[in-house]
Structure 1
């Protein structure tokens, strides 16, 4: 099965220690070009707000530029956080992107705000975080893309501009099973964020497949999973990467945010027994090791999830190590 696995990228434009936001965005651009050449399937960029160590706040803006700099790789959002946005504006943004790069755009959508509740309330003061609101957004979005609003509704009087012939591939992103049910209901793709929640993903994907209802956009269920990956032939770099990721997760869970640490900053940190338990749990969110280990583990995960595509999220303290990790993955899975 391993040679048939497709690989993709989720990039959050991480701001490494000593690097500016401008440089972080340039690294995202360089990574998109590089993984396009390597044969990766898709390149998704994220939406985070009020997070100083991640520069990716506006995927719809970044996608437009990335599409102009790449040739074959699909470019998309991982994802647009729908509660932050007007549905019509999302439809128009992505119709414009389809006009710029027809047939190469993915609209990955999330239900979470991608930030804290206070920031979310500023982004969209009318956001009630209600499940029904999200369902209505998905229904309205599909109608805007296909100009199929029900007669007599307000939406029937509104067209999403520009009127283009193609529709972006629609995906729902989730770290629980709930959005998988929404994806099945609307006939959309489903991506499980194993890098956020390492438990229950395989069951969520199976439930999505069992409940899937074909749509005019997608005849068969399409699913993938996303996980933190770091591949290196240097055992010391792998060890240091694991230590930094351990620390990053613990700090985040304490409410201290995501900081651009390097190994020397955290190497002498002592952890409580409770923190050590959390570290063991969180290590399930990461695959880090030498090429043989990484290939075996990713192949096992793809098989357990029943998917043929893995999205790799790679944050490294050195940009060259990030590039090299993706290069090794491309070689391991014989991407074309």
Structure 2
């Protein structure tokens, strides 16, 4: 049986506040929990008018406390923005509060523009992206019960732990959309996730590099991987395509360097004027979506999983909202999860 999971960027649409977007995401996570989804991960992006997912650790604590069984994690913590010790401390506490339900997904990208990266670095908490491999090792060591030893200039060793006494540690996943991240995950023997929802290409090569280069470790005896995909599922194909337009338009604006605001509603996106380049980007993006009526979308999901030999897909439900929808809920995103679960989790 295929496993389904959820990736949430916590989109903020027109006239919606952060509080309303968070309420909608909490309800969506509870829906995923009740439907039998395996995990619910939140992203890290900064200074974006349409994205409220800025701090994974805070969001994971909130969502874990409002759900019952689903694993909650980061997709991912962008490690260049953080001290490895702080990340290890945060996730050690989350694991202590919800043992066995926390995933620590780590990414190498900053998740922001150069200005935001510079602002984050003012606190001294950010790290050199070139030290990413050693910082991943540091986090793994700090999360363990033994902790890590820091060698002082005097030659003595200083014991360092992320928490006084851990009963368990959250699994560490490496995330990426490049050959680099796949090869690094393989060399560490860590689970790996290909960010197909963002990259759209390169999955086959990255997963092959990961599997062929994998070295068994204490974290995994064999390759452990899945991939992400944008999804919009509705009762009819026409409904699904209409619900996909706000996200398609937003991503086309991003890639063509056009001004970006809060996410359009379905009606606003339908009325928006678009040039030929924007329309081209939107059309190209559609090929990577799981989109359509329930049976069609389920078939696409199965085909994607079979193509890349994975038994789990992490769905980013990107269905837009109507002008008349309540601001504190996301009915079309909930419906996407319901319809996919009915086709893929109940058979």
* Shared fold per TM-score greater than 0.5: yes
Closer, same or farther in 2 for the Cα pair 1:212/1:150, shift >3 Å?
Answer: farther
1:214 equivalent in structure 2 = 216
**What RMSD over aligned residues (CA atoms) do the two structures have, in Å?**
2.0
Superposition deviation, residue 282 in structure 1: 1.6
* Offset of residue 15 of structure 1: 1.1
| Aligned positions of 1:160-239 closer than 5 A | 160-239=162-241
Q: Distance in 2 between matches of 1:40 and 1:155?
A: 44
Q: Deviations over 1:266-310 (max 9, x none)?
A: 324454444343233222332211111111111111111111110
Q: More deviation in 224-233 or 259-268?
A: 259-268
Give the aligned partner of residue 149 of structure 1. 148
Structure 2 alignment gaps of length 5 or more: 322-329
Shift of 1:324: 1.0
Aligned equivalent of 2:324? none
Aligned to 1:130: 129
The superposition leaves residues 26-82 of structure 1 with CA deviations (integer Å, 9 ceiling, x where unpaired) of: 111111111111000000011111012111111101111211221211010111110
Question: Counterparts of 1:77-96 in structure 2 under 5 Å?
Answer: 77-96=74-93
Uncovered stretches (5+) of structure 1, i.e. residues with no partner = none
Cα distance change of structure 1 residues 150 and 24 upon mapping to structure 2, 3 Å threshold: same
SS at 1:228 equivalent: strand
Contact 2:6 2:315 in 1 (8 A): yes
Counterpart of 1:333 in structure 2 is 344
CA distance in 2, matches of 1:289, 1:57: 30
Supply the distance in 2 between the matched residues of 1:175 and 1:282 (Cα, whole angstroms): 16
Compare 119-128 and 228-237 and name the one that shifted more: 119-128
Which is worse superposed, 165-174 or 233-242? 233-242
Cα deviation 1:72-131 (Å, max 9, x = unaligned): 110101111100000001001010011101111100111111111110121124656533
TM-score by length of 2: 0.90
Alignment CA distance shift 1:158-1:151 (3 Å)? closer
Cα offset, 1:16, TM superposition:
2.1
Q: Which residue of structure 1 aligns with residue 71 of structure 2?
A: 74
Report the 3-state secondary structure (helix = DSSP H, G, I; strand = E; otherwise coil) of the residue aligned with 1:43. strand
Give yes or no for contact 1:83–1:124 (8 Å, CA) kept in 2: no
- CA drift at 1:254: 2.5
Q: Quickly say closer, same or farther: Cα 1:317–1:277, change in 2 above 3 A.
A: closer
Q: What's the CA shift string for 1:123-151, capped at 9, x where partnerless?
A: 124656533x1011111111112235367
State whether residues 244 and 320 of structure 2, in contact with CA within 8 Å, keep that contact through their aligned partners in structure 1. Answer: no
Residue 263 in structure 1 maps to residue 266 in structure 2: yes
Find 1:284's aligned residue among 257, 278, 287: 287
Residue 98 in structure 1 maps to residue 95 in structure 2:
yes
- Once residues 36 and 261 of structure 1 are traced to their aligned partners in structure 2, the CA distance between those partners, rounded to angstroms, is 28
TM value normalised by structure 1: 0.92
SS of match in other structure, 1:285: coil
